[in-house]
Chain A
C-alpha cells in the first residue's frame, strides 16, 4: 500500500501525490490519519475530500492508502445506534474524545467484542447462494437479524456450521471451498445492494397522519418528497413518520441539520412505543446525525451510509423506511465539493450531475424480491429545503422528477399554525390508483369515494374563495356558502393534526375514515336543509356541528361520534 504526500490543503479538500489508489478509495490524511476519500484523479494528482476538519494539516504530511472504498460494517448491533455520516457511533466518539467531536478517531460501526447467540438455519451440506441467509441472531427483543452470505460472495456448500455465542469476527460457518463466513461483512456505501427483482408497491405505508394516509398516501417501497421553506414542518413530519409508520425498521438520517433536533430524537425514541409492537421505538431505529456544523464531506456520505444499512435490513425481508433531513444539504455538500474541485457548475452552482445523483439515490428505494427469497422494501421520504421556499430551484425540481409523492408545504398554512402545512391542492400521490383496492378491502368500500368527495369540496372551496375575495361571502348562493363551511370543517377538523397532541399525533385508518364520513354526513344534511329552505345561519349553528371539532382529540372517539351523529339527525329534523 502506497504512502503519498499532501501537496495542498484548502478547506475540506486536499491534493496529494504519490498514490496508486482508485477513485472513491478511502485514504488517511496527515499525521492524524483523517478519514478521507479520493474524489478525483488527474495525472499523478489525487483530489481527496476529508471527512474531518482539516485545520492545521500541512503540505508534506503523509497520505496512507487503505485499498478499499468507504464501506459500512453490516452485522448485528446496528439497531439503536446513532452514527455520524461515516458510520462512527457517536457515543463511542464521545467516550473517546468528550462532548466535542475531535478528529482522527477511528471507531468500528458495530461492536466487535460483543457476543451474539448465532442460531443456524442451514445445515452441513446445504448449498448457499449469494445473499442467502444461513442463520439468525435475536438482535432486539422482536427483531431477528438474518445472517446472510455477502451478496458478492459466490456461496457454496456448507462444510461446517456452528451454533453458539460468537462475536462478529469469529467464524460461524465454513464452506466446501474453505471460505469462512462471519456475522459481519462490509459493503461499499456508494453501491446499491443487489436484489432479485424489483416489485411494484401495492400496500400503503400507514403513517397515522390524515392528510397523508387519507389524501396523499405513500406506498411501502415508495418515494416521497417534502419540500418547504424553513419552519414549515419538514422535520416534525419526518420525526412523526419515523415514530408511527408501520414499518419494521426506521433509518433516520439527519443530514446537515440541527444538533438539538437529533438530541430530540435520541431523547424521545427510547421513551416512545411503536404502536404496532408496544416496544420502544429506538429498538427498530438507526439514526445518522451529521449535523450542519459537522464536516460537509461526511454529510455527503451520510445519505449513502444510511441507504446501505436500509438495504441490508431490506435484504433480510424487512419493510424499512428511510427519512433524509435534508436532501438539500446533501446537494449543497456536493455543490461545495464541486466548486472546490473547480468543476463546471450547472444550474445555480450545483454540479451538472446533481440530477443523476438524486436519481441514483431514489432508485435504491423500492419493494423487491430479495436474494434470500421473500420480499422487503425501502420507502424513502426526503425533505427538501428550497432557498426562499421557492420550488422552482434545482434540487426540488430534480427531486420531483424522481419521487412519486409530493407533499407541498405551504408557509401560508404555517403562518396560521395549520399543521401539517401540506397544501391540499398542490400535493399529489401517484400511488393513488394502485392503493385503492387495498383501502377498499381493508378499511372501507367508501374510502376512495369519500376521499374524492372531500377533495372536490376543497377544490370548489378554492374557486369560491376567489369570488369571496371580490364580493364577500354573503353574496354567494346558499349552497355555496355551505360548501365554504364544510371545507372549513374538513380543513380544521380533519386535515389539521397536531404532532404534539398525545392522542391526535397518531390517527388509525378507521378513525380517519369515520371522522371524514361524519363531516360529509353533515354536508348532506346541510344541503338537504337548504333545499327545504332553511337559512344558512340556522344550518351553521346546529350544536352538533361544533361538537365535531374536537372528536379527533379523543382516543375512545366512537361512542362520542355516534352520539354526535344521532344528535345531528335530531337537530336537522327539528329545523323547520
Chain B
C-alpha cells in the first residue's frame, strides 16, 4: 500500500482536494480513513501536485487531517458465483449480514465497451405475459427497454410482473435477476424484496440497495456495480440476466450534484453536458456477444419529473435505449392496469424478435393495425368532445369505439395475469374484427384469411 496523506486542502460538497507528491492515476480508488470508518473515493482530476476526489459515502465527518491513501488501481468489483442470492449495499458491501464476497475475479467497474463487431443480434422473443409489451412493444433478449413513469404510478408493479413472468418461449431456463435500487424508499425496496422472496426469485438474484437516506454520491457507483456483476454472470457464467434498476432519475440527480460541485459548465437544465455519454456507458452494457451463451437485458425505471418526456433524463435515455414503455397517468386514472400508453411507447428490437419462427407471421401487421386505430381513436376523442359523437361519420364512430375497447380489453389485465403471445394476438384480432374488413389496410390479405375470426371460425368448422 502506498503512502498516506493528511493534506486535504479543501472540502466542498462531495469533493475533497488533496495535495500529494507521488503520481496518482485518473479514476483511481482512494481510501479515506476517519475515526474507525473507511470511506472510498475516486479521483476525478489528477495534476502534478493536487487531486480532486469524489467521496462516495459523503464527506460528513471529514476534516483537514483525515488520512487519505491512494490504492494505485481503479475501482474493481469482487466477483464469484457465490454472489448470486446476496443483498449488497449501493457500494457493494454486504447488507444481508453475510460475509464479504470472496473474489474469484476482480473487474473494473467502468466496464469496457463491447466491440460492435463482436455483438450478436438480439432476436429471441421474451414473453412477459403483458399484452402491451408482447403484442405491440415486444421485448427481446439483450435489449435495454426502460419504463418511463411518473411519481405515484404503478411502474414497480409492472417491473415486478415482468421479472416474474418473463420467459423465452420453449426454454425452461429462467433469468437471473439483478436489482439495483438508487435512492428509492425503504418501503419500495421492501416491496421488491418481498416479491422476490415470495416467488423464489431471490435465490437467483443479486440485490444492490442504495436507499433514499443513503449517500447520494454512492448512487453513481450502484449501476456500475450491478452491470459489472451482470457481465460476469452473463459472459463468464453463461446466464441470461435481467437487470432492473430504479430510479435512474435519482442517479442523474447525483450526476448533476457532482457537476455542480465541480463548477462545470452545465448543459440543459443544469445537468452535465456529458450526461448522454455517461448514461450510454450504463445502458450500452446490455446485449449479447457472438459465441457466448449468456445475455444482458435491461429494465431501467425512471420517473419523469413533472411527467415531462422532454425532460433531459427521459429524453437522453430515450435516445440511447432500445425503446421505452410509457406508463400513463391518464390510463391509471381510468383504472386501467398496467397503464401503458402504447402510442409513445416503442420497442426498437421488436422486428427481429417477432414473426414467423419467433411468434407468429401476422404479428407485425396486427400490431401496426392496432396502433393505427388506437392512435386515430384517441385523436377522435378530442373531436367528439367538441362536436359531439353524433357529428362523427360512421367510420369515425367505429374507430372511437375501437379505442375504448382496446384500452379495456387489450391494455387492461390482471396483476397476475400471464397472457401467452397467442392470447394477446387473439384479443387483437377480436378487436379488429369489429371493424369492416376493408378498414384493415395494414394487414396482408393472406393473414386476414388465416387469422381473422370470421375466417378462422369457418376454417375451424370445416
Contact = CB atoms under 8 A, between A and B. Distances in A.
Nearest to B235: A99
Nearest to B75: A55
Interface stretch (B85-93, B110-118, B401-409, B454-462): B110-118
B248 interface: no
Nearest to A93: B115
A475 to B, nearest CB: 7
Interface stretch (A20-28, A135-143, A181-189, A332-340): A332-340
A9 B315 contact: no
Nearest to A262: B116
Contacts of A259: 113-114, 116, 119, 284, 287
A500 B27 contact: no
Most buried by B among A230, A260, A385, A492: A260
B156 interface: no
A387 interface: yes
B380 to A, nearest CB: 10
Nearest to B290: A99
Contact of B315 (A8, A263, A387): A387
Size class of the contact patch on chain A = 35 or more
Contact of B24 (A55, A58, A336, A415): A58
Contacts of A289: 116-117
A278 interface: no
B266 A99 contact: no
Contacts of A264: 121, 352
Given A9-B26, A263-B116, A292 B277 contact: yes
A56 B28 contact: yes
B312 A387 contact: yes
Contacts of A463: none
Interface stretch (B208-216, B340-348, B425-433): B340-348
A429 interface: no
Interface residues of B, number: 84
B121 A263 contact: yes
Interface in A389-421: 389-390, 411, 415-418
B273 A546 contact: no
Interface in A76-99: 82, 90-91, 93-94, 98-99
Interface string B275-300: 01100110011010110100000000
B351 A390 contact: no
Nearest to A393: B268
Given A99-B115, A417-B375, A59 B47 contact: yes
Contact of B47 (A8, A231, A254, A468): A8
A416 B372 contact: yes
A533 interface: no
A390 B320 CA distance: 17
A474 interface: yes
A99 B292 CA distance: 10
A10 B388 CA distance: 63
B445 interface: yes
Contact of B48 (A55, A59, A474): A59
Secondary structure call for the B interface: mixed
A55 B27 contact: yes
Nearest to B111: A100
A61 interface: yes
Contact of A470 (B112, B117, B277, B387): B387
A268 B352 CA distance: 11
B280 A293 contact: yes
Contact of A336 (B118, B277, B285, B445): B277
Interface in B361-394: 364, 368, 371-372, 375-376, 382-383, 386-388, 391-393
Contacts of B218: none
A354 interface: no
Contacts of A91: 117
A359 interface: no
Contacts of A57: 25-26, 46
Nearest to B378: A415
A426 interface: no
A457 interface: no
A154 to B, nearest CB: 39
A258 B319 CA distance: 9
B273 A94 contact: no
Contacts of B252: none
Interface in B298-339: 310-312, 315-316, 318-320, 322-324
A388 B310 contact: yes
A298 to B, nearest CB: 11
Q: Which 7 A-B pairs have the closest CB atoms?
A: A388-B310, A292-B280, A472-B391, A263-B119, A58-B23, A100-B112, A90-B117
Interface of B: 23-28, 44-48, 73-74, 108, 110-122, 142-143, 235, 264-268, 273-274, 276-277, 280-281, 284-285, 287, 289-290, 292, 310-312, 315-316, 318-320, 322-324, 343-344, 346, 348-349, 351-352, 364, 368, 371-372, 375-376, 382-383, 386-388, 391-393, 396, 438, 441, 444-445
Given A292-B280, A332-B273, A473-B396, 13 more contacts: A8-B46, A11-B274, A57-B25, A58-B25, A100-B114, A229-B315, A262-B116, A267-B121, A293-B277, A293-B285, A388-B315, A416-B375, A553-B444
